[in-house]
Amino acid sequence: MNLTGNTIFITGGGSGIGRGLAEALHAKGNQIIISGRRKAALAEVVAANAGMDSIELDVESLDSIKSVATTLTAKYPKLNVLINNAGIMKDDVVDFPIDDTIASSIITTNLLGPIRMTSALIEQLKAQPAAAVITVTSGLAFTPLARTAVYSATKAALHSFILSQRYLLKDTNVRILELAPPYVQTELGGEHQLTDPNAMPLGAFIDETVQVLGTDADEVNVKGVAMLRNNVGPDEYAFFSKFNDMMSGR
């Protein structure tokens, strides 16, 4: 996609991958609007990046999504890129009874959130000369992490949704892109992840991601996620088992 001259709305832009993408794309001359539930985090990002804008959004709330979409389209009539980045990860082991509140929150945030946000803005995007929807899934969409079974399942569902969306919009001016990160140094899995040497440094991930984003690729994936992304086929359970044994220290 064209990396300059866009008006880009990013959910979950107050930290981690969302903030990294926001700042990298802001530096390339795009109008960036970030959103999230934490006002202080949004204010910090905007203060550090002159010209960036923010809006409070609760992706678990359909009313919040509709309200934000109405505000955005009125204030930014040239809005042409949506980055569905907001997501949460919590341990949701399924060999014991699942906490329904946690499971519902993960599903609503990670799956219904991007579906609803895209739906709320799709006509706005279709009206632009060139537009894109970039949805952040995960390498765990293809090789799930057993201790985050519900999280992994929401990302797998998003991948399926993206395929259908891309097919249905193939004859329009809206490109549908998927970004499946590997294990990256963010706070998604807890503060320990920010400094875990086994995780890809956030800066390196953002640099490589933006480089791929500037190509014609439908999947904007860094090289480090290939092992997980390519694990599809009749032998996937064997690889899945080895991966989870490694992650659990067995």
The predicted-structure confidence for 96-123, as pLDDT tens digits, reads as follows 999 999 999 999 999 999 999 999 999 9
* 1 in a structural domain: no
Please give the tally of structural domains in the chain. Answer: 1
Whether the predicted pLDDT of 234 surpasses 80: no
Mention every residue, 6+ apart, whose C-beta is less than 8 A from residue 222: 181, 182, 200, 205, 208, 209, 212
Whether the predicted pLDDT of 248 surpasses 90: no
Specify the pLDDT at position 82: 98
119-171: per-residue pLDDT in tens?
Answer: 999 999 999 999 999 999 999 999 999 999 999 999 999 999 999 999 999 99
Q: How far is CA 211 from the centre of its chain?
A: 17
* 95 in a structural domain: yes
Spatial distance between the Cα atoms of 90 and 84, rounded to a whole number of angstroms: 19
Mention every residue, 6+ apart, whose C-beta is less than 8 A from residue 98: 92, 150
* 127 in a structural domain: yes
pTM value? Answer: 0.92
168-200: per-residue pLDDT in tens?
Answer: 999 999 999 999 999 898 978 788 888 888 889
Determine which one of 76, 151, 167, 237 is catalytic: 151
We report the CATH number of the domain holding residue 230 as 3.40.50.720
* Residue 201 per-residue DSSP state: P
Which residues form the domain of 70? 7-247
183 as an active site residue: the answer is: no
* 2 in a structural domain: no
